[in-house]
Structure 1
Amino acid sequence: ERSGYRVYAAHKDGQLALSFDPAGVGFLNAYPSGKTLLSTTSDGDGLLFDTNSGGILRQWNAQGSLRDGSCQPVNYLGKEPDGSLLCRLSEHLAIREQVWHNPISLRIYFSGAPEIRHVFVNSANRAEPSNKDACDQVFGKASSTAKAAKAKPPPIAHVDLVSSIRAAVAGL
């Protein structure tokens, strides 16, 4: 049995977003369709799928080479400057994958209520806050103002309350 950390994430509605074991074996699902977007194997192979057609967009082997005849290294899989694949799955969840590492390197970005943001990785996660700007590239700048609470009306004086009840009952 492999030692390490399993990473699992679900959307607010409970739909499974991703699951990877310590060796990087797992899958990533598109949201809200639930179709598989990426899948990896214990041999280090992987597939990137087109979530509309279900067809294979890219396939790579354990040595990090694409299997589309181009012999292009897998680090060109994504469109990010470092070659990683960045997927925003919903307004609250995103993932960055670097598949040329073994096991693959995952960064899971979470954005909740205003100013609640965190980045998780598929290894030990320290019990400390993330860099406050860590999720900005995925979700944009965090809103610095929370929704203002509605002001409560002042309490009605007892005498006025009794008077309004009497007036309402008298009209019956």
Structure 2
Amino acid sequence: MLPIRIVSLAVVFLGSMLAQPVEAVSAHHVQPGNVYVAKPVHFEPQHAGDSGPSGHRNHPVIALSHPNEHGMVPVVAVSHNHPEHMGSTVGAHHFDAHTHNAGRGSFDAGSRVATERPVFVHHDDLHHVSHDSNLPSRLHPDDTQHLVNTVYEHSGQYHDNPRARTPTPPWRAGH
């Protein structure tokens, strides 16, 4: 048996680890096709209702491109029940066939992607999907290209921001 002090310290340590905030996604880690979660309250442009109760819950989003010079990432929202202001939607299963076949996961039946109205989310407000969410963490490149093409067809918007450069470590600066 372990002494009660060791068990107590382990419980306190584990609790403090679980209470740590989720680290934001770095700009240079954002790739087209990555699946993240974000709160609608952080979507730009902001719509009526995005700041309500459901606006503070994380929803899956898929990056369409790298962040722009202001750190804003063009994304499409994934949901079972999109608000009307998100425009037309397409079943998410249209964008995960290769991802599913590669063993990277898939979207739940009934999930839809808001392809008519992509929004922007700052990379600091994006968070990685949890391993137990049953969501893919990244779409297969063919599925990503199909999604980007569909968004262009439905919205007329094409996003092709250059990849963010990895910051130079301080010990290499000036060399």
Question: TM-score normalized by structure 2?
Answer: 0.23
Higher RCO, 1 or 2 (CA under 8 Å, sep at least 6)?
A: 2
Structure with greater helix percent: 2
Query: Which protein shows a greater Rg?
Result: 1
More strand by share: 1
Q: TM-score, normalised by structure 1?
A: 0.24
